[in-house]
Amino acid sequence: MENFLVTGGAGFIGAATVKELLKRGHNVINIDNLNNYYSVQLKKDRLEDIEKIAYDVKTNYEFININLQDKKKLDIVFAEKKPSIVLNLAAQAGVRYSIENPFSYVDSNVVGFINLLEACRNNNIKNLVYASSSSVYGANSKLPFSEGDPVDNQVSLYAATKRSNELMANTYTHLYGFPATGLRFFTVYGPWGRPDMAPMLFAKAILKGEALNIFNDGNMRRDFTYIDDVVDAVIQCAFKIPTPNFPNPEQVENPSHSYSPHRIFNVGKGEPIELDYFIEILEINLGKKAKKIMMPMQPGDIKETLSDCTAIKKWINYKPSTSLETGVSKFIDWFKYYND
């Protein structure tokens, strides 16, 4: 069994990953700073759910409240706990909030990440898997988004910080030789999800009889990816160690190729879902119709996302299996239970 260090382990993807690692018998050090970007209580409830699983399976688990910007404390954690594999799922999230509060994104996503890279290179880790985002494709119009596409047209600071993470990781793996894998997540949803994302916002509004703000007049499509499929990809990639990759001359300009032990993959469902259809599935599961207010496109947002997951399918035989209908049903079951 491995000693995992998971950052952002009180967050949506982080908590789900920690729970699955514990169920599989691994030791986990879970670090998070419990910031107040959204409900701290939700984060504490996720941690309580993790504690119950850790108790049931009787594996080594510890939560440490720490900010990745605190390099000294982070270095102490690495030195004392000696993780073998690091999963960096911590970040200041949210596209729209990055317009209001840009410095928090630089502090968390850039400064915090460089501190983590330094800790990894100084502590002989076997592998680093880190969260990137589909938002790095920015203003690209070619669909589906592929890792080989140019990623130089970000339309939000959040996306820019995530792209910077990819560049920083590539540099560190080149200079110091430790392996890393970046995962570009596409619209992750499911139980214990973030309250600032559409599934939770829409479900709450529908139940309360409040109107939904529908941006770009509803002319939006998203590649919704269920949390269990994402967690499976994260853990499989943790055990698939990249080696130095020597591309042929035609591949040198391809952003997904590297001379270093570094890989970048899309993690999505590969199915574009109309926003109206997503709302319809919510309505069916909630037994209530939505009220809608049509709004213009928000700054920093993009009209459509769709993943090409050919590369990760070859890498780990990734096969997302949860349909939207099943995933939304599971989300609503949890949502009703949690808010009862």
**Known catalytic residue: 105?**
no
d(CA 70, CA 270): 38
Closest among 57, 153, 16, 156 to 98, alpha carbons compared = 156
Asked whether 52 and 269 are in contact (CB, 8 A), the reply is: no
- Which of 158, 172, 189, 226 does the annotation list as catalytic? 158
End-to-end CA distance of the chain: 38
Q: Is 109 exposed, middle or buried (0-12, 13-18, 19+ CB in 10 A)?
A: buried
The DSSP bridge partners found for residue 189 are 226
Chain-centre distance for alpha carbon 52: 23
- Helices 71-81 and 112-122, axial angle in degrees (round to 10): 30
Catalytic positions are 158
